[in-house]
Amino acid sequence: MRPSDNKILFAGPVGAGKTTAIASLSDVPPVTTDATASDMTLDRKGHTTVALDYGVLMLDEDTKVHLYGTPGQERFDFMWDILSQGGIGLILLLDNTRPHPIRDLQFFLKAFDKLLQDAPLVVGITKTDLATTPTTAHYADILETLGLRPPIFEVDARNREDIKTLVCALLYSIDPGLEG
């Protein structure tokens, strides 16, 4: 952790809860770049992020964490590289109701492989109340075959405490000596 400013990325497919997660955790009103959906995204929701979401979490007087949400659509992948610069970690949100959430996992791990070479990963699975499979154990098995053992949590992106758990797990991955 840097003493003043830190940057965490939230990534994942459309509808996984990135915008909602940042809004639920940010200590300032979040900045969003939602636009009316005009492609297959319209089947899942009416608006989608086209550039980024942004919020700030104040850890103490001197330390803040900048929260950046990436667009979920592959056509905006140029933003993924831009937003990854200077990131200290990645929170990958996966929507368990999507047709192929394991493929989503594999796709986003590959898309953010450059960041993940130097930064930790935490995985949050959303909408498990609507689709109970795959389970967190299944995700863990897939990740382990890829040589990864990140913390994995079932979360509700609307719940500040759930999202705070993701951020804390990421920060503890960076510095296990951090105080709660």
User: CATH code at 167?
Assistant: 3.40.50.300
How far apart are alpha carbons 32 and 17 in whole angstroms? 13
The tokens describing 33, both together, are 């770049």
**Structural domain that includes position 66:** 5-174
Does a structural domain hold residue 83? yes
Q: With a cut of 70, say whether residue 46 has pLDDT above it.
A: no
Does a structural domain hold residue 149? yes
Question: What burial class does residue 172 get, using C-beta atoms within 10 Å of its C-beta: 0-12 exposed, 13-18 middle, 19+ buried?
Answer: middle
Lowest mean pLDDT among 33-47, 88-102, 121-135: 33-47
Q: With a cut of 70, say whether residue 51 has pLDDT above it.
A: no
Does a structural domain hold residue 49? yes
Does a structural domain hold residue 180? no
Does a structural domain hold residue 159? yes
Q: 136-162: per-residue pLDDT in tens? A: 999 999 999 999 999 999 999 999 999
Does a structural domain hold residue 48? yes
Does a structural domain hold residue 86? yes
Please state the domain count of the chain. Answer: 1
Per-residue pLDDT, 61:
82
Does a structural domain hold residue 179? no
Q: 31-45: per-residue pLDDT in tens? A: 776 656 555 544 554
